[in-house]
Structure 1
Amino acid sequence: MADWGIRQASAADVEAVAALRAVVLRADLERLGRYDEHRVRQRLRDGFVPEHTWVIETAGALAGCVALRAAPEAHWLEHFYLHPALQRRGIGSAVLRMLTARCDRERVRIRLNVLRGSQARWLYERHGFTVESEDPVDVFMVREPAAGGQGVSA
Structure 2
Amino acid sequence: MKASVNFTLRQATIDDAPLFYSVIARTMRDLIIATWGVWDELLVQRESYEDSSSPNAQVIQIGDVSVGVFTVERFPTYIQLEQIYLLPKYQRLGIGTRLLNSLISEASQSQIPVRLRVLAVNSAKMFYEKFGFAVTKATSDFLYMEKSP
- Could you state the TM-score of these two structures normalised by the residue count of structure 2? 0.85
Q: How big is the alpha-carbon RMSD for the aligned residues of Structure 1 and Structure 2? A: 1.9
Q: Distance in 2 between matches of 1:114 and 1:102?
A: 21
- Mean CA deviation greater in 52-61 or 36-45: 36-45
What SS class does the counterpart of residue 127 from structure 1 fall into?
A: coil
Structure 1: gaps (5+ residues): 146-154
AA at the equivalent of 1:57: Q
| Correspondence for 2:78 | 74
Q: Distance in 1 between matches of 2:15 and 2:125?
A: 29
SS at match of 1:108: coil
Please say if 1:16 is aligned against 2:19: yes
Pick one of 135, 141, 145 that aligns with 1:137: 141
* Aligned match of 1:36: 40
Q: Map of 1:54-73 to 2, 5 A cutoff? A: 54-73=58-77
CA distance in structure 1 between the partners assigned to 2:13 and 2:21 by the alignment: 13
Query: Which 5+ residue runs of structure 2 have no aligned equivalent?
Result: none
1:131: how far off?
0.2
Question: For residue 22 of structure 1, what is the amino acid of its counterpart?
Answer: A
Aligned residues: 145
Q: List per-residue Cα deviations over 1:66-115 (Å, max 9, x = no partner).
A: 11112353221102111112112211111111121111112221111001
Offset of 1:44 from its aligned partner?
3.4
Sequence identity of aligned pairs in percent? 26
Match of 1:45 among 24, 44, 49: 49
1:4 is matched with: 7
8 Å Cα contact 1:19-1:41 kept in structure 2:
no
Deviation at 1:121, TM superposition (A): 1.1
Partner of 1:152: none
